[in-house]
Structure 1
């Protein structure tokens, strides 16, 4: 399945039904008067968040969605039927804006949450509404109003509590595959991961926490360089950032600073997000080199640095315990 996280669609609400011109024609009722009913409302277009969807792929092939028109009013003061609403399922975590004006319309994050994005047109009035002392037999009615038409921009931002960030080949995919049952593509070359990967990591209590492996950022990602610019939005919702650094790289401290600079340039509250620094691939270097790299990193950050190996699983228990500690502390502060 392709991962599509941006889409533009057009939504068209239903037109209201026309009012009707009719008169009562009953035996023994010599002056029945006007009896044309109102038209029914047009159907609205409603977005519905669904956990069943993980991508906006469906909107690559279907871009126009129209609700049903309202029915025309009937005789004997009968109101026309309302047009059926058009329900459109979108993944949880989708941000909706007006593509023409940029107006923020909503952000659906909970399964079953709804948002009406185009209201159906009002039905026209039947001739019964135009009865007056000066006009006892009105022979006209109003047409129904057109429904709203909008172009929408849909932007999917993955809902994950922990975002794994780092330069290409830092070992993010290997880490998420070691911590969860996710099976992302892993290979010994940069930009192996072309789309975000999600994995559920179990706490000791049995609760699941969603980790997101964000495709490799590089210098200039916040300005559109490389793959990272397309996926930085997916870490906006995370509560904790897990910054993975390749201990076998030429200059791990510089790699650390590169990612931090990109977070600052991108903004959206990411620099202030709680972070855990993890030095990966410790199985491939000697203790002396590891100590030297750690000291150099500590000159750049006051955060503790965890030594891990995603391949051998060394240090992963300590790493996850730090993640749980931050998440539990945040949850406790919310309750207070």
Structure 2
């Protein structure tokens, strides 16, 4: 199925029914009085987050979503039926924006969370409401109000704890295949990954975190080069960014460090251009493809010295699984700490402490636990 993470739709809530101006007329009752009923309310457009849906592709083909109108009131104090609500199901992580104002309207980040996108109009009042001691035969009634109508832009931001960032062919897809059961396409040419992939990394029966494999960036993405910034929105919900850098070189006589440092700085620049807040997220440096270098430790030290990197740094081989295990456990601890900071009421017990699962073997090709 094609992955679509952005769509624009028109939502139209139902109009409320008009009130009725009616009088009771029955045989032998010459002065029956008013009996006009109210109009029914219009239906609303409601969105519900569904974890079984993972793309917005359906909304690319069905752009107009309208709820039912309320029925008009009738005589004999009969109220009009309410319009039928329209429920649309969207992936978890969908954000709704008002196209005209650019304002964020709703953010559905939890399964079965719902929101009213467009509220139905109110039904009008029948003349039954206007009778009084001085107005025995009221002919007044009110009309129903129109429902809300919006043009909505929907954005899907995947829910992941850790986001993989880097140039094309930095090894992001290979790493996610190594540590999870996700199976993104891997090849030796740029832009193998064309849409985000999610993988669940399980470190123990009670501990896991979700990793997002984002299509690679290149220098000039802000101007539309490569895939541009199209998928960077999916990193906005992550707690940690793993910045993968390829420190290998096909030519043994060529020093790969200057090119690797230049690529890292280009990615940093693109992050700043896209969203300064995203660029401030905790970012760990992962030097990949060390199995293709002569002296991995020397390459690591040279890169740190040349780049001036001050944060956490890991030297791994995503292909062979070398040094991947310490990275996974440090990520699990950092993700648990981030969750604890967001939800302090969920205090873990000693039984919840992170312990290394002996079944975890990063050297296996499937990364299964």
Match of 1:200 in 2: 200
Match of 2:362 in 1: none
- Residues 300 and 315 of structure 2 are in contact (CA less than 8 Å); yes or no, is this contact kept in structure 1? no
Change over 3 Å in CA distance of 1:332–1:120 after alignment to 2: closer
CA RMSD of aligned residues (A): 1.9
Match of 1:44 in 2: 44
Number of aligned pairs?
335
Find the aligned partners of 2:31 and 2:57 in 1 and give their Cα distance.
Answer: 61
Q: 1:319 and 2:327 equivalent?
A: yes
Find the aligned partners of 1:22 and 1:140 in 2 and give their Cα distance.
Answer: 10
Residue of structure 2 aligned with 1:282, choices 248, 267, 290: 290
Find the aligned partners of 2:41 and 2:321 in 1 and give their Cα distance.
Answer: 61
Match of 1:296 in 2: 303
TM-score (norm 2): 0.86
Provide the secondary structure at the position in 1 that maps to 2:277.
Answer: coil
1:14-25 matches, cutoff 5 A: 14-25=14-25
Question: Could you report, residue by residue, the CA deviation over 1:210-265 in whole angstroms, capped at 9, with x for unpaired residues?
Answer: 10001001112234332140011110110011111112154212222221222222
1:42-81 matches, cutoff 5 A: 42-81=42-81
Provide the secondary structure at the position in 1 that maps to 2:100.
Answer: coil
1:175-186 matches, cutoff 5 A: 175-186=175-186
Match of 1:240 in 2: 240
Match of 2:354 in 1: none
Question: Could you report, residue by residue, the CA deviation over 1:169-211 in whole angstroms, capped at 9, with x for unpaired residues?
Answer: 0011111111111111111001111111111111234433110
Find the aligned partners of 1:140 and 1:325 in 2 and give their Cα distance.
Answer: 69
1:82-231 matches, cutoff 5 A: 82-133=82-133, 135-139=135-139, 141-231=141-231
Q: 1:329 and 2:343 equivalent?
A: no
Match of 2:365 in 1: none
Match of 2:353 in 1: none
- Residues 176 and 211 of structure 2 are in contact (CA less than 8 Å); yes or no, is this contact kept in structure 1? yes
Find the aligned partners of 1:203 and 1:222 in 2 and give their Cα distance.
Answer: 37
TM-score (norm 1): 0.94
Listed as ranges, the gaps of 5+ residues in structure 2 are: 250-255, 346-369
Find the aligned partners of 2:231 and 2:68 in 1 and give their Cα distance.
Answer: 36
1:249-268 matches, cutoff 5 A: 249=249, 250=256, 251-268=259-276
Q: How far is 1:107 from its partner?
A: 1.0
The worse-fitting range, judged by mean Cα deviation, of 20-29 and 232-241 is 20-29
- Residues 38 and 124 of structure 2 are in contact (CA less than 8 Å); yes or no, is this contact kept in structure 1? yes
Listed as ranges, the gaps of 5+ residues in structure 1 are: none
